């Protein structure tokens, strides 16, 4: 019954389509193709990562089915991909050009995270993760020193299971054009997401239990709009609705080391999962064509987000603390937010040599959830504390953006654009009350010459915060010199260049470059700079109408520096000799090559491709000053911290090669062979199987969700039929 | 009543939509005239069509229309893929095939026929972008394309024909010049497209998503040409609705913009994070004790704050919490 909405939707979409199809098939032109295959794979390593969002199981499969028909002005398209597989998709499209259009789709997206996860938890009630009481009692009785090994033995002795989820969606789009100047459009999409994801629950700073948190979501999106064109004006009005249902809004997980609740430690923990919610909104737009190739567009929207009778969870799952903890100061979430938006765009091209664009965008997110205040807190479901008062801070933001561009096109091959933008954000409960970002842009674009095309942009931006409130940091026991990078003062320079050179019509040389420098100039702590350099070069060519070749290489370099001070409360927080920094770098090389040969010996099509992606990420710790990134006013003192032990680099390499050969027996039938080679190598000090297998210390119960390499050879024979 | 309707919520709207759709389809089928019929409902004709039906119009310049067959007598290669395209559906009165054929877009061809070597018809490959766009937007100016004028691509002189091809489309849908959207977009946005090959990625290379799933390339009301909502976060939570809240305790930078922590195009880190925790979290958190600890190689093998899901193993409700003790996102 849970899926009835999806089925109802699909049925609604398909019934008339089927009626149309029946009529269409009877008499008219039709064409189609079907691509069947038999697949076999040889795989070593992480099968889950190889498949991830696909179903590549062995055996017979329908790769694609396509069918087109038309009769008396009706056009029908139907398609199926991977029919019968977990990643199957079905699409149908019915068009009466100029009058009516209907589109429907059923799509399944699997997500396979791991085939090697283990857990001793069992879950007979959704959201509850239980251990055998006897196991808990046995572990509780052990001496502290003996517990880690016992916990690991418990996990290692558990059966493996697939950690996975799936998204199934049914979508329909209906468009009616009563006149050539008007259109009514309705779209509905219902998505079911089910499965599990890794989630952690803590019983203190030194004990964590991971479990496969349930995903049981329903999301229905409804959009309706009406559009009318009258003379130079276009009017549009719309309604949007979004209903999200989460069937499991809390997770309870047993403590492996505690069979019974006591003050200070619970036998189980409980944490919150997202609540169901509804978002409803309306919008309207007017776009008017003006003289001198000008247009003015105004758009307004308002919407409301509310929770669906969401509840504040109980104070604690610890029965020993619950009497003293009592009830929460509020039982219901009372969650509500109102969003308002208004855009005004003006564009004009009064002459061949000059054009102007101006945009204003206003957005307001008003969080109306009442503040939750409590002087009682049971941290980690352990012990009740009444020493501090907690008060929630509903975050709101108002944005006002202005953008203007003037484009000058003198006689000659290039256009010059000068642009300015001012982005003002006002926020609640952040360290800055307001930030203003001033952006200057210069753009150069060559005009159509057919031989060479160059596009370049240089952008300089300065963001400055106003209304700095140090108490926001101090309340969170943060350093007063910390600045959060998403709102901190920041100078930005960015340059991008894209050039394409076509010396002859069949060949093109493309080069591109993107360079960016973000300097958080006033941040004593936190992100200090964030830079990127990306370069690419590629050649594409069709030396003949039977041959297509292409090769491209790109290099990406991302670097960021952030600063901190390792300190316990007290004097250490003021000691600059305890400063340290993380210099992180991400370097990626990627190479893509492809070749296509069509109609070899008039019957054979061959295609080759090769993809190589090599990533190296490093996290270098630096103690003491970072010479060229230290603020002038900082005290430079020798570090008193021990020299950090360097972290190993993170490696992620992906090779993928494909060969596709098709022999066209005649115009209707073809046979083919396809071969895929996939290889993935990974070394990740946080997530690869080596990292987690060495974890024997501590009382932590993990899922063993890891990254592991794989090598796969996949081959399939194909039979294609066209009519 | 309101509560009852609210509880029905999506089911009511889906059912209503189905009924409306069936009714509309049924009535439309009953009333729609045969496009071949001379008796066409006046409501379905634009003034231009009505005028054209009365008598074939001639252009204002001294060049005249010669008819599609004349064009194809020399340029028959132009029909190879075009004949299967929506532009060639003569049943649709809006299309070139239903009006002046080739000359609808390329202009009247009498002078070219008279002197093929010296006089060439309008070529979209060489004309300025604005001129090419003006031809396409004669028809494609509503719906998905309503905000093209002044949009990011249009204002840079990127023309419709930069990405689309009427005569030699390669893609299955959308008349694109390459097989897929990612190949087209990679021509300019190589740095974004190459990220889909990273280990943390959305299902783009698996064919389940495309660039246009999130972006409307032709112009939108949102930033970054995002299709849904009015902010980056609005766009992300249109699919990831479990992250939209509302929450008792919120992680403010997440509400401000998901891209503070995640790279939507792809990343080598788990969950598409821009950097690996704890380094990512330590960009904003330097409080005393464990938030400001150096998690070097000496701690990797022993500290759950480094390996597995790192900080988020304990702070698992990082997007928001509805627990009275959820202010640190551990509950």
Side-chain-side CA neighbours of residue B242 (13 Å): 19
pLDDT tens sequence across B256-296: 999 999 999 999 999 999 999 999 999 999 998 888 999 99
Record the tokens describing residue A632, joined without a space.
């002038």
Q: What local confidence, expressed as pLDDT, does residue B22 receive?
A: 46
Q: What local confidence, expressed as pLDDT, does residue A320 receive?
A: 95
Q: What local confidence, expressed as pLDDT, does residue A276 receive?
A: 96
Reported confidence tier of residue A666, pLDDT bands at 50, 70, 90: very high
Q: What angle do CA A11, A13, A15 make, to 5 degrees?
A: 60
Q: Which of A87-91, A702-706, B160-164, B305-309 shows the highest mean pLDDT? A: A87-91
Average pLDDT, chain A: 91
H/E stretch holding A48 reads helix A47-51
Q: What local confidence, expressed as pLDDT, does residue A685 receive?
A: 87
Record the tokens describing residue A251, joined without a space.
């997770």
The answer to whether the Cβ–Cβ distance between A450 and B253 falls below 8 Å is: no
Name the percent of chain A lying above pLDDT 70: 95
Residue of chain B nearest A499, judged by CA positions:
B188
Residues in A closer than 8 angstroms to B191, CB to CB, are: 512, 514, 534, 536, 554, 556
The answer to whether the Cβ–Cβ distance between B6 and A308 falls below 8 Å is: yes
Q: What local confidence, expressed as pLDDT, does residue B190 receive?
A: 87
Q: Which residues make beta-bridge pairs with B267? A: B200
Reported confidence tier of residue A695, pLDDT bands at 50, 70, 90: low
Spatial neighbors of A231 by CB under 8 A, at least 6 apart, are none
Q: What does the DSSP 8-state code read for residue B96?
A: G
Give CA separation, A508 vs A71, A498, A504, A610, B123, in Å.
42, 13, 8, 20, 20
Record the tokens describing residue A272, joined without a space.
């919150």
Rounded to whole angstroms, the maximal C-alpha distance in chain A is 88
Q: What local confidence, expressed as pLDDT, does residue A693 receive?
A: 64
Please give the Cα distance from A678 to B144 (Å, whole number).
Answer: 38
Spatial neighbors of B246 by CB under 8 A, at least 6 apart, are A275, A277, A305, A306, A307, A310, A333, A335, A336, A337, A367, A369, B320
Q: Which of A66-80, A390-404, A689-703, B224-238 has the lowest mean pLDDT?
A: A689-703
Reported confidence tier of residue A588, pLDDT bands at 50, 70, 90: very high
The answer to whether the Cβ–Cβ distance between A272 and B241 falls below 8 Å is: no
Q: Which of A23-27, A582-586, A614-618 has the lowest mean pLDDT?
A: A23-27
Q: What local confidence, expressed as pLDDT, does residue B62 receive?
A: 83
pLDDT tens sequence across A182-199: 999 999 999 999 999 999
Please give the Cα distance from B178 to B185 (Å, whole number).
Answer: 10
Q: Transcribe B101-119 into DSSP letters.
A: THHHHH---HHHHH-TTT-
Q: Is the pLDDT of residue A14 over 50?
A: no
Q: Is the pLDDT of residue B77 over 70?
A: yes
Residue of B83, B124, B232, B248 to mutate, interface with A, max A Cβ within 10 Å:
B248
Segment A401-406 shows an average pLDDT of 96
Record the tokens describing residue A448, joined without a space.
């159509």
End-to-end CA distance of chain A: 40
The answer to whether the Cβ–Cβ distance between A347 and B149 falls below 8 Å is: yes
Residue of B24, B325, B326, B327 to mutate, interface with A, max A Cβ within 10 Å:
B325
Size of interface A-B (CB pairs under 8 A): 476
Phi, psi of A459 (to 5 degrees): -130, 130
Q: Is the pLDDT of residue B47 over 60?
A: no
A155 CA: distance to closest CA in chain B (Å): 15
Q: Are A617 and B270 in contact (CB under 8 A)?
A: no
The answer to whether the Cβ–Cβ distance between A174 and B322 falls below 8 Å is: no
Average pLDDT, chain B: 81
pLDDT tens sequence across B148-184: 999 999 999 899 999 999 988 889 999 999 999 999 9
Segment A83-94 shows an average pLDDT of 96
pLDDT tens sequence across A361-393: 999 999 999 999 999 999 999 999 998 899 999
Q: Transcribe A481-535 into DSSP letters.
A: TB--TTTS-EEEEEEEEEEEE-SSTTEEEEEEEEEEEEE-TT-SBEEEEEEEEEE
The Cβ of residue A145 has, within 10 Å, a number of other Cβ atoms equal to: 7
In 3-state terms, what secondary structure has residue B31? helix
Q: Which of A48-62, A497-511, A696-710, B128-142 has the lowest mean pLDDT?
A: A696-710
Q: Which of A190, A244, A565 minimises the CB distance to B292?
A: A565
pLDDT tens sequence across B124-144: 887 888 889 999 998 899 999
Positive or negative, the CA dihedral A628, A630, A634, A635 is negative
pLDDT tens sequence across A220-271: 999 999 999 999 999 999 999 999 999 999 999 999 999 999 999 999 999 9
Q: Is the pLDDT of residue B38 over 70?
A: no
Q: Which of A310, A407, A686 minimises the CB distance to B155?
A: A407
pLDDT tens sequence across B209-264: 999 999 999 999 999 999 999 999 999 999 999 999 999 999 999 989 999 999 99
Q: What local confidence, expressed as pLDDT, does residue B126 receive?
A: 79
pLDDT tens sequence across A708-717: 999 999 999 9
Q: What local confidence, expressed as pLDDT, does residue B121 receive?
A: 84
Q: Is the pLDDT of residue B67 over 70?
A: yes
Q: Is the pLDDT of residue A631 over 70?
A: yes
Q: What local confidence, expressed as pLDDT, does residue A600 receive?
A: 87
Among A232, A225, A221, A238, which Cα is nearest to A183's?
A225
- B80 against A562, higher pLDDT: A562
Q: Is the pLDDT of residue A300 over 90?
A: yes
Segment A614-636 shows an average pLDDT of 84
Residues in B closer than 8 angstroms to A272, CB to CB, are: 317, 321-323, 326, 331
Q: Is the pLDDT of residue A17 over 80?
A: no
Residue of chain A nearest B316, judged by CA positions:
A200
Q: Is the pLDDT of residue A554 over 90?
A: yes
Q: What local confidence, expressed as pLDDT, does residue B299 receive?
A: 80
Residues in B closer than 8 angstroms to A345, CB to CB, are: 147, 150
Q: Is the pLDDT of residue B52 over 80?
A: no
Q: Are strands B249-250 and B320-321 parallel, antiparallel or unpaired?
A: antiparallel
Q: What local confidence, expressed as pLDDT, does residue A119 receive?
A: 93
Q: Which of B17, B155, B287 minimises the CB distance to A222?
A: B17
Please give the Cα distance from A24 to B240 (Å, whole number).
Answer: 39
Q: Is the pLDDT of residue A650 over 90?
A: yes
The Cβ of residue B171 has, within 10 Å, a number of other Cβ atoms equal to: 17
Q: What local confidence, expressed as pLDDT, does residue A512 receive?
A: 95
Q: Is the pLDDT of residue B50 over 70?
A: no
Residue of chain B nearest A208, judged by CA positions:
B314
Q: What local confidence, expressed as pLDDT, does residue A469 receive?
A: 94
Q: What ipTM goes with this model? A: 0.92
Q: Is the pLDDT of residue A58 over 90?
A: yes
């Amino acid at each position: 019954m849970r899926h009835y909405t999806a089925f109802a939707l699909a049925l609604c979409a398909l019934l008339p389509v089927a009626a149309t199809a029946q009529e269409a098939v009877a008499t008219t032109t039709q064409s189609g193709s079907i691509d069947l295959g038999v697949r076999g794979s040889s795989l070593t390593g992480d099968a889950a990562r190889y498949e991830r969002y696909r179903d590549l199981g062995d055996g017979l499969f329908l790769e694609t089915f396509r069918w087109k028909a038309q009769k008396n002005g009706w056009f029908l398209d139907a398609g199926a991909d991977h029919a019968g597989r977990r990643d199957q998709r079905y699409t149908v499209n019915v068009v009466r050009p100029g009058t009516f259009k209907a589109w429907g789709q059923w799509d399944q997206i699997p997500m396979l995270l791991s085939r090697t996860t283990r857990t001793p938890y069992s879950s007979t009630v959704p959201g509850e993760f239980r251990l055998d009481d006897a196991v808990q009692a046995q572990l509780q009785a052990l001496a502290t020193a003996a517990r880690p090994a016992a916990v690991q033995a418990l996990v290692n002795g558990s059966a493996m299971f697939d950690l996975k989820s799936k998204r199934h969606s049914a979508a329909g789009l209906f468009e009616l054009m009563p006149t050539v100047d008007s259109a009514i459009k309705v779209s509905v999409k219902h998505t079911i997401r089910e499965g599990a994801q890794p989630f952690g629950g803590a019983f203190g700073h030194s004990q964590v239990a991971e479990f496969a948190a349930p995903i049981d979501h329903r999301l229905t999106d409804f959009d309706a709009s009406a559009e009318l064109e009258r003379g130079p004006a276009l009017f549009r009005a719309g309604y949007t609705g979004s209903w999200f249902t989460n069937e499991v809004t809390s997770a309870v997980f047993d403590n492996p080391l505690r069979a019974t609740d006591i003050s200070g430690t619970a036998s189980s923990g409980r944490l919150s999962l997202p609540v169901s919610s509804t978002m409803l909104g309306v919008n309207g737009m007017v776009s008017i064509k003006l003289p001198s190739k000008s247009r003015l567009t105004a758009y307004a929207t308002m919407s409301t987000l509310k929770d669906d009778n969401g509840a504040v969870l109980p104070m604690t799952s610890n029965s020993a603390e619950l009497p003293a903890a009592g009830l929460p100061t509020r039982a219901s979430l009372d969650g509500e937010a109102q969003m308002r938006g208004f855009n005004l765009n003006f564009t004009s091209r009064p002459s061949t040599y000059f054009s102007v664009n101006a945009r204003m965008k206003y957005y307001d997110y008003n969080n109306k959830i009442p503040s939750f205040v409590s002087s009682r807190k049971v941290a980690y479901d352990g012990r009740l504390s009444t020493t501090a008062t907690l008060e929630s801070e509903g975050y709101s933001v108002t944005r006002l953006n202005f953008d203007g561009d003037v484009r000058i096109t003198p006689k000659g091959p290039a256009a010059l654009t000068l642009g300015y933008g001012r982005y003002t954000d006002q926020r609640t409960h952040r360290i800055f009350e307001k930030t203003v970002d001033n952006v200057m842009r210069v753009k150069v674009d060559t005009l159509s010459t057919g031989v060479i095309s160059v596009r370049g942009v240089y952008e300089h931006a300065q963001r400055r915060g106003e209304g700095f409130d140090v108490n926001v940091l101090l309340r969170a026991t943060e350093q007063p010199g910390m600045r959060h990078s998403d709102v901190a003062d920041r100078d930005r320079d960015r340059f991008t260049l894209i050039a394409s050179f076509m010396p002859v019509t069949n060949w093109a040389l493309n080069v591109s470059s993107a360079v960016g420098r973000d300097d958080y100039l006033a941040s004593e702590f936190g992100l200090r700079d964030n830079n990127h350099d990306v370069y690419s070069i590629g050649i594409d060519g069709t030396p003949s109408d039977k041959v297509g070749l292409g090769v491209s290489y790109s290099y990406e370099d991302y670097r960021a520096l952030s600063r901190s001070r390792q300190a316990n409360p007290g004097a250490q927080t003021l000691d600059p000799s305890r400063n340290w920094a993380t210099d992180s770098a991400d370097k990626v090389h990627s190479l893509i090559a492809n070749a296509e040969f069509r109609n070899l010996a008039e019957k054979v099509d061959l295609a080759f491709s090769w993809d190589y992606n090599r990533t190296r990420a490093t996290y270098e710790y630096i103690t003491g000053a970072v010479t060229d990134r230290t603020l002038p006013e900082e005290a430079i003192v020798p570090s008193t911290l021990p020299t950090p032990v360097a972290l190993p680099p993170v490696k992620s390499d992906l090779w993928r090669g494909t060969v596709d050969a098709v022999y066209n027996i005649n115009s209707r039938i073809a046979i083919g062979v396809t071969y895929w080679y996939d290889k993935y190598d990974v070394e990740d000090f946080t997530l690869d199987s080596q990292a987690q297998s060495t974890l024997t210390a501590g009382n932590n119960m993990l899922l063993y969700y890891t990254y592991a390499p794989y090598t796969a050879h996949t081959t399939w024979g194909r039979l294609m039929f066209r009519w | 009543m309101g509560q009852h309707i609210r509880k029905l919520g999506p089911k009511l709207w889906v059912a209503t939509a189905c009924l409306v759709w069936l009714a509309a389809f049924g009535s439309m089928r009953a009333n729609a005239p045969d496009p071949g019929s001379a008796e066409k409902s006046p409501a379905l004709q634009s003034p231009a069509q009505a005028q054209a039906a009365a008598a074939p119009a001639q252009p204002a310049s001294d060049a005249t229309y010669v008819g599609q067959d004349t064009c194809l007598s020399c340029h028959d290669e132009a029909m190879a893929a075009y004949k299967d395209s929506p532009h060639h559906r003569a049943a649709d009165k809006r299309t070139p095939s239903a009006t002046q054929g080739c000359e609808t877009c390329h202009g009247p061809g009498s002078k070219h026929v008279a002197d093929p070597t010296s006089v060439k018809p309008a070529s979209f490959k060489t004309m300025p972008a604005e001129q090419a766009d003006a031809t396409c937007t004669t028809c494609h100016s509503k719906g998905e394309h309503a905000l093209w004028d002044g949009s990011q691509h249009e204002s840079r002189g990127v023309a419709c024909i930069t990405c689309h091809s009427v005569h030699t489309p390669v893609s299955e849908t959308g008349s694109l010049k390459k097989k897929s959207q990612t190949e087209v977009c990679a021509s300019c946005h190589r740095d974004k497209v190459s990220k889909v090959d990273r280990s943390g990625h959305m299902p783009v290379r698996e064919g389940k998503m495309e660039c246009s799933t999130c972006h409307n390339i032709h112009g939108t009301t949102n930033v970054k040409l995002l299709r849904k909502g009015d902010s980056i976060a609005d766009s992300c939570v249109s699919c990831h609705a479990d992250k939209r809240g509302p929450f008792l305790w919120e992680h403010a930078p997440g509400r401000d913009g998901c891209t503070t922590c995640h790279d939507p195009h792809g990343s080598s880190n788990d969950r598409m994070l821009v950097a690996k925790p704890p380094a990512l979290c330590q960009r904003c958190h330097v409080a005393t004790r464990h938030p400001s600890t150096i998690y070097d190689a000496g701690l990797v093998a022993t500290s759950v704050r480094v390996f597995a899901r790192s900080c988020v193993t304990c702070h698992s409700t990082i997007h928001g919490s509805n627990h009275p003790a959820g202010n640190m996102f551990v509950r």
